[in-house]
Structure 1
Amino acid sequence: MSDEREGGAGSPVDRRVLLLLLGAVLAAFTGQQLLGPVLAPLSRELRLGEVQLGIVITTAAAVLTVASLFWGRVCDRWGHRRVLLTGLTLCTAGLAGFAAVAAWAIGTENPPAAAVLTGMIVMRSLLFGFGVGAVPVAALAYVAAATVGETERTRAVSLVGAAQAFALVLGPGFGGLLAAGTLLAPLYLAPVVLALITVVVAVVLPREARAGGRRTFPPARTLSPLDPRLRRFLAIGFLLFLSLGTIQIVLGFLFQDRLRLDATATAAATGGAGFATGLVLVAVQGGLVPRLRWGPVRLLRVGSPVAAAGFGLLAVGPGFWSMTAGMMVAALGLGMALPGYTAGPTLALGPAEQGAVAGLVNATNGSTFIVGPLIGTALYAAGPALPVALSSLLCLAAGALLVRPFRPTAPAAEVPVAERGQG
């Protein structure tokens, strides 16, 4: 093998393979997001409380976090094609099973609550959660092995993130529209979408398309979240993602209770608001942030208080349009702040530590969706506006951590990059 191959230089990106991988990411997360507008009203139809639904979502987040670590370990041995197909198959089975459980429960008079909750956890949390963790891992493994240089790799990795963000637009919008007819429609469509993309990947994605036959980077150094170069970025990221995790599952309840809607109207309202919010998020991350050319710290300093203001408006908004406006303002702020948080740690460390810092960032993000839904549903039971008010305070706390100037102990050549644009 040539020295270039051993050194980890990637092979040229196969556009067909990349498009298939992006399509798989889009389909998997769209299938997940299709269910978003119906989960809250569906749980009420099935006589499940807010805390029980929070357990379903929290379990799914925990499974996804653990599964991502597993898929990352086996991807080098199996190849991205096998990992992707296995994950998509599990996703399809999980969503089909979830639809079957919901249809049975709705069609049964007084179904046992324990049986309904167990079925939802097994299908939605365990089976689907484990499978969906494989999809972005396979996509990122391919682009990391098939790209060379910071600019090319960053661009390719950003496409994977863009596909996930676009799913936030498509899923809630279509889910809300479909639910206007029946709550079960999105549940039936989601596994069909996943089954179709699984077949396409199995037929079209070549077996020999595995990029780079070997691990392309040396094993990452072990990093502590308390590393002085990282800890403030990680603390800020934890607070920002916790603001999302806290309100994610209670939004449907908030719309239903504040606007006095029935289950079908709740799904439509939540889906419409989610669609508008997703459009803002995609526009900010895909258009505004690249044009601003701000550094991570400046993005965080501007975005965090804007997000706090948006959550504040959502907490007190009396009607659909004011609540939706609050969500859109929050998306504007988070659309600026989250890229700053994600980029900041990578710019504060050297090349040999990038794998380790990526693991810490992903673990930080995932952990917030384990505890966030439990906090949100518990607070909602005490007062509907409390989870949203907490999200606003969390964003303000993230901004407060930015008052003192950053002095990361990065390599000298990289410190100015991490601090660029603070003013």
Structure 2
Amino acid sequence: MPDSPSPEPLAGPAAAANAPIGRNRQFRLLWVCMLVIGAGNSMLLSVAPPLVRQMHLADASVGWIFSLSALLWVFTSPYWGRLSQSLGRKPVIAFGLLAYAVSMASFGTGVTLGLNGVLSGSNLFITLVLARSIFGAFGSASSPSAQAYIADRTSAFERTAQLAGLSSAFAVGQAFSPGLCSWLAGQFGFVFPIWLVAGFALAASIAIISFLPERTAPQSSRQRASFADSLALITDRRLSGYLIYGFALSIVAGVTVQVFGLFTMDRLNVSGAHGTQFIAAGFMANALALLATQLIIIPRLSLSGRAFMLWGAALLAVGVALQVLAVNLEFLLVSQVIQGLGAGLARPGFTGGASVAVEPHEQGAAAGLVVAANGSGFVFSPIIGGVVYERLGMNWPLYITIALLAAMWVFVFVSRRLRSTPIEAPPETGTP
């Protein structure tokens, strides 16, 4: 039973209201659970390129394995965000983590069957696609509910920094899981890290149910927005500009992540475990830069989400351009650091800006749409990434990405839809 009858999402309990991430138990627990998802996804992206070649699948299958999951993510995230407003954030977060555990365990089973020759060709490919799709359809429940949980307990001016703090959990996972995965794969095989993440996800789901407090009452059914009302936010001028930017940013993320492993192996002429180590080094450099941006830079800058979106797109474009010019691992790592800085500014900028733009009772629906935008680009990135990579060459996906980033920068610069609310504001003192 909730401690307060109030349905107002921002009216959290006094002990939890406006509590900075890292200083309050529920935020720390939520952060750790999101870390598991970030670590698992980064690990899969690190091992996927060597694995598909080892299992004799086409290079483009790296992207296609994730594409159906991304499509399901787009359509289901708004639903889970809405559902969390009526059922409560905690049960929906826990359900998403449980689904993620099932997805990873199924994926590990498919890889095992493929490496042992039990499955091959199209049967293996379909198995991996379906296993990953469990995450897209049901694991997508965690992220919008977690974002809405934070929005329930922060003021408008604090929200971008707080959501950046939550995003840092994914960055930590992305930073350290590739290196750990490379070591574990060398010691115990490629499948062991996949099963390990499945176990951690199951433990995280149990921890959310057991220990995450949720005193804010869910909204009553008569206050809950309908599915049509939620989707109407897509064209709402308060939110649509952020969603357009988020969709484009997701395409950029999908292309750069899916291409980087293949690009590294081909540019440096490496493969197998050696290739995994180089790929892991690049992902770690990117994620550490992103983490430093979100934990150190953003909290110290009183800039608007719009400003972060501009700087983020610019830095990402520079980083991708440097990747095209890279001739050795060191150069590739520098390009990944700059891309990490750009992503660390761009994503919290549009996520926090979107949250600030809507009313408290719309937070769940808005968070679902934001999370959908975050995954929507991965539906199209296999075409821009894998297909273009195979048919036109390794640099062409990066050329397209640079052009898209330039268009994003221009859009943010000229758009009247985007608000310029700073991420922090001085507290009210009661004096003029």
Q: TM-score, normalised by structure 1?
A: 0.84
Q: What is the aligned counterpart of 1:245 among 232, 250, 254?
A: 254
Distance 1:6 1:326, change over 3 A: closer
Tell me how far apart the structure 2 counterparts of residues 392 and 134 of structure 1 sit (CA, whole Å): 32
Tell me how far apart the structure 2 counterparts of residues 319 and 277 of structure 1 sit (CA, whole Å): 16
Report the counterpart of residue 56 of structure 2 in structure 1: 47
2:307 paired with 1:298: yes
Distance 1:228 1:31, change over 3 A: closer
CA offsets 1:292-320 (integer angstroms, 9 cap, x no match): 32223333333322211110111221111
1:390 partner amino acid:
I
Tell me how far apart the structure 2 counterparts of residues 141 and 70 of structure 1 sit (CA, whole Å): 13
Tell me how far apart the structure 1 counterparts of residues 315 and 282 of structure 2 sit (CA, whole Å): 18
2:219 partner amino acid:
R
SS of the equivalent of 1:133 reads: helix
Contact 1:28–1:132 under 8 Å retained in 2: no
Task: Please list, as runs of the form range in 1=range in 2, the aligned pairs for 1:17-28 lying within 5 A after superposition.
Answer: 17-28=26-37
Task: Please list, as runs of the form range in 1=range in 2, the aligned pairs for 1:232-311 lying within 5 A after superposition.
Answer: 232-311=241-320
SS of the equivalent of 1:401 reads: helix
- The alignment yields a C-alpha RMSD, in angstroms, of 3.2
Q: What is the aligned counterpart of 2:129 among 108, 118, 121?
A: 121
1:184 partner amino acid:
V
Distance 1:309 1:98, change over 3 A: same
Cα shift at 1:189:
2.1
Distance 1:419 1:2, change over 3 A: closer
Distance 1:82 1:398, change over 3 A: closer
1:299 partner amino acid:
F
Distance 1:86 1:177, change over 3 A: same
Tell me how far apart the structure 1 counterparts of residues 240 and 122 of structure 2 sit (CA, whole Å): 41
Q: What is the aligned counterpart of 1:341 among 332, 350, 355?
A: 350
Tell me how far apart the structure 2 counterparts of residues 287 and 143 of structure 1 sit (CA, whole Å): 19
Deviates more, 1:129-138 or 1:307-316: 129-138
Looking at both structures, which has the greater relative contact order when contacts are Cα pairs under 8 Å and sequence separation is at least 6?
2
Report the counterpart of residue 171 of structure 1 in structure 2: 177
Tell me how far apart the structure 2 counterparts of residues 285 and 419 of structure 1 sit (CA, whole Å): 12
Report how many aligned residue pairs link the two structures: 408
Contact 1:346–1:354 under 8 Å retained in 2: yes
SS of the equivalent of 2:394 reads: coil
Task: Please list, as runs of the form range in 1=range in 2, the aligned pairs for 1:312-391 lying within 5 A after superposition.
Answer: 312-347=321-356, 357-382=366-391, 383-391=393-401
Distance 1:140 1:374, change over 3 A: same
2:18 paired with 1:11: no
Deviates more, 1:363-372 or 1:149-158: 149-158
Contact 1:316–1:385 under 8 Å retained in 2: no
Distance 1:135 1:345, change over 3 A: closer
Cα shift at 1:271:
0.8
Contact 1:299–1:336 under 8 Å retained in 2: yes
Percentage of identical aligned residues: 25
Cα shift at 1:5:
1.7
Report the counterpart of residue 133 of structure 1 in structure 2: 140
2:170 paired with 1:160: no
Distance 1:225 1:85, change over 3 A: closer
Tell me how far apart the structure 2 counterparts of residues 143 and 339 of structure 1 sit (CA, whole Å): 13
Q: What is the aligned counterpart of 2:219 among 205, 209, 215?
A: 215
Gaps of 5+ in 1: none
Q: What is the aligned counterpart of 1:75 among 74, 84, 90?
A: 84
1:91 partner amino acid:
Y
Tell me how far apart the structure 1 counterparts of residues 117 and 142 of structure 2 sit (CA, whole Å): 35
Tell me how far apart the structure 1 counterparts of residues 224 and 326 of structure 2 sit (CA, whole Å): 50
Gaps of 5+ in 2: 17-23, 425-432
Tell me how far apart the structure 2 counterparts of residues 154 and 333 of structure 1 sit (CA, whole Å): 16
Q: TM-score, normalised by structure 2?
A: 0.83
Tell me how far apart the structure 2 counterparts of residues 2 and 190 of structure 1 sit (CA, whole Å): 34
Distance 1:153 1:322, change over 3 A: closer
1:46 partner amino acid:
M
Contact 1:87–1:134 under 8 Å retained in 2: yes
Cα shift at 1:335:
2.0
Cα shift at 1:278:
0.4
Cα shift at 1:86:
2.8
